[in-house]
Structure 1
Amino acid sequence: MRVLIINPNSDQETADVLSKTAQSFLEDRGEFDVVSMRTAPKLVVTYEDQAASAMELIATVRAGRERYDAFILACHADPNLDLVREVAGGKPVFGIAEASMRMAAMLHGGYAVITPSEKIIPKKFALARKYHCEEELRTVVVSGGNEKEHLLDAGRKALQVPGVNAIVLGCANYSGLDSALEQELSVPVFDGLIWALILADGAVHNKEYQRKTLG
């Protein structure tokens, strides 16, 4: 599998986090590239932020349709996800919010999302409605930062809400901390990039299987 991981913001630190997680998870099972949107702000918070890089995003995906087997939109707002799917030429496209929230709800029922800003809370509930997992979303908790201790504090607060059986990391900058947090919190912790890679790998292998069975 060859996958393009799209960082919809312009922050190189975010791109580095994504690259580190993808390399650690995939090892030699697939190839990936990470690309950032130069016309986007450093942090995508508002719908205006999402719109800022739409044309660059379209051009990036169209240019990669022959090279890549799948695309991952690596921002937990899933900005312009439907747009990317429209221009991806039939290649599978996964957003890290949809991947993590749907899988958390499907596998564990009630879940909580940790997010970096109060401004984003309504958007998490809007995404949950869109992805048909709003009923399972018990709470959205704001983290004081991107470090492990900040996320642990937010996770402990989330677990005080009845019915929370899993934690979703609601920001790309939290990627790579799922295992450490899960060990401390004793509940499943979902890293959206990891689950998007799992789903992308499954989709690509399914296409290969179908081609083989057709001879």
Structure 2
Amino acid sequence: MAKRIHNLIDDSELFARLARGDERAFEIIFHHYNRRLYPFILKMVRAEEAARELVQDIFVHLWLKRELLADIEHPTSYLFHVASNRTLNFMKQVSRNAQLMAQLAAGATELSYPTEERLAFRETAALIDTAVDQLPTQRKRIWELSRQEGLSHEEIAKRLGISRETVKKQITHAKRYIRRFLADRGSMLSLAVFMAMS
């Protein structure tokens, strides 16, 4: 139904209706552009959870700023411009967060970051630890050997007497669970840091 209506109304008119608070216009725009924005963002961030959250963030932004959309002449260009800017900002944040996490992990005490940011990262680390604690016993052990002791897949396999392929699969499952754990709690910052670290 959305496609049929969209074919009868151009994007500029949809944006004008959205600017007036038309929820149906918003729904049509979402369904039409969601399929295009997601792969565009995914190519940049290379993480499905982050791409999905960024798309949602873009449409939340679109709704909250809807009164500014009445005079948008090229809606497609506008949306992709917004997507590019928000994705680049996200990637800069990930890079900055990863550097801070590396400092914290190394035991750095003199950090040039605000106290609030350091507290946020300690909370992030605690949240990740909570997720790891919920992994099955063997998976948790493999994860700790990989991330805490820095062992390679081959070294872990030898130590535990299992195949390298098993180690690889268990780490993949662990990553998937931790990402889902963080995403379910709506922690964009924690998810970003975890993806940068892993």
Taking structure 1 as the reference length, the TM-score comes to: 0.30
Q: Which has the higher strand share?
A: 1
Q: Which has the higher helix share?
A: 2
Give the structure with higher Rg (CA): 2
Taking structure 2 as the reference length, the TM-score comes to: 0.32
